[in-house]
Amino acid sequence: MFPYVVLISSLVASAAAHATFQELWINGVDHGGSCVRLPLSNSPVTDVTSDDLACNVNASPSPGTCTVNAGDTLTVEMHQQPASRSCATQAIGGDHYGPINVYMAKVANASTAVGSAAAWFKIDEMGLPSSNPDYWATEVLNDNCGHFDVKIPTEIEPGDYLLRAEVIALHVASTVGGAQFYMSCYQLHVDGGGSATPATVSIPGTYNAEDPGILINIYTQLNTYDIPGPTPYNLPSPTVATTAWPTTATWNTASQPTADPTNDP
Ligand SMILES: *[C@@H]1O[C@H](CO)[C@@H](O)[C@H](O)[C@H]1NC(C)=O
């Protein structure tokens, strides 16, 4: 009886700890889920060679595409359950520690683009912001009600893009295939900008199951962490602070989700 109970409760705990990037803010305005390709479930992708690694498993195109300007600040928002934006629940629980990556890909049409066929560049990343103690990007996400800010590069060409937000959970990553990838793609149209065409990678393709940031035992003092994938376009790689990371929220907590977010056609 006892082992049975333990098994069931650990299954419930791990299912409840899964999570989804599901909302988007543009310059502090809540656009809810109006341009996300919402994944069918909050379960992770674990095969780095699968086409599902691009935009999750059979996520349908969104009816909406969000129009943004180059240089805008976008906030991607993650929660454990699609129907809940409560800040009382960790964005991603269950000790699912790991980095955050945000990529973009220029596409002909954001509604119809296939993520696994797109050419991606990274626009931001956060791995281990502090080593005193080791403190992960996902903990910063949890301190901030699932909110993570990224800036659309000012120099990129106008047009349609997919934006791909990802958490890699490393709690069982010390065996090959253990790392858990949680990603959603958002449909964007970017106005303004310039003519820059950042160097790109394929997804799947840019990650290897044995990359040092993917096959890793995190239950030891790390001090450094090799964030998987390319370095972000026009941003320095983040440093690891040797002072404790502040656990207070840095997002504007006055900006609560609206009952009726701005909808995007
Ligand atoms: C993008 O594709 C959708 C769906 O096929 C279509 O309705 C829309 O007109 C296309 N947009 C552009 C700018 O071509």
Whether residue 126 lies inside any domain: the answer is: yes
Phi, psi of 49 (to 5 degrees): -100, 0
Q: What is the reported pTM?
A: 0.93
Q: How far is the CA of 179 from the centre of ligand 1 (A)?
A: 36
| pLDDT for res 7 | 40
User: 70 Cβ partners below 8 Å, 6+ apart?
Assistant: 152, 153, 154, 155, 156, 158, 190, 191, 192, 193, 194
Residue 83: per-residue pLDDT: 85
Give the pLDDT confidence score for residue 3 in this predicted structure. Answer: 38
Q: How many domains does the chain have?
A: 1
User: Which residue range is the domain that position 24 belongs to?
Assistant: 20-82+95-233
Cα of 104 from ligand 1 centre, angstroms: 19
Q: What is the pLDDT of residue 9?
A: 40
Ligand 1 center–CA 109 separation, angstroms: 6
Would you put residue 234 in left (φ > 0), alpha (ψ -120 to 50) or beta?
left
Note whether 155 and 194 are within 8 A (CB): yes
Residue whose CA lies nearest to ligand 1 atom number 3: 111
**Which residue's alpha carbon is nearest to atom 7 within ligand 1?**
111
The pLDDT value given to residue 130:
97
Residue 146 belongs to a domain = yes
Residue 261 domain-assigned (yes or no): no
15: in domain: no
Residue ranges in the chain whose pLDDT is less than 50: 1-14
Short-list 50, 74, 81, CA closest to 186 = 74
Answer whether residue 240 is part of any domain: no
Residue 16 has a pLDDT of 53
**Strand pairing category for 180-191 and 66-69:** parallel
**Cα–Cα distance, 164 to 152 (Å, whole number):** 12
Looking at residue 16, its amino acid is A
Q: Is residue 160 part of a domain?
A: yes
Please check whether residue 36 lies inside any domain of the structure. Answer: yes
CATH of the domain at 205: 2.70.50.70
The pLDDT of residue 236: 85
Is the CA virtual torsion 129, 134, 137, 143 positive or negative?
negative
**Ligand 1 binding residues, C-beta < 6 A:** 109, 111-112
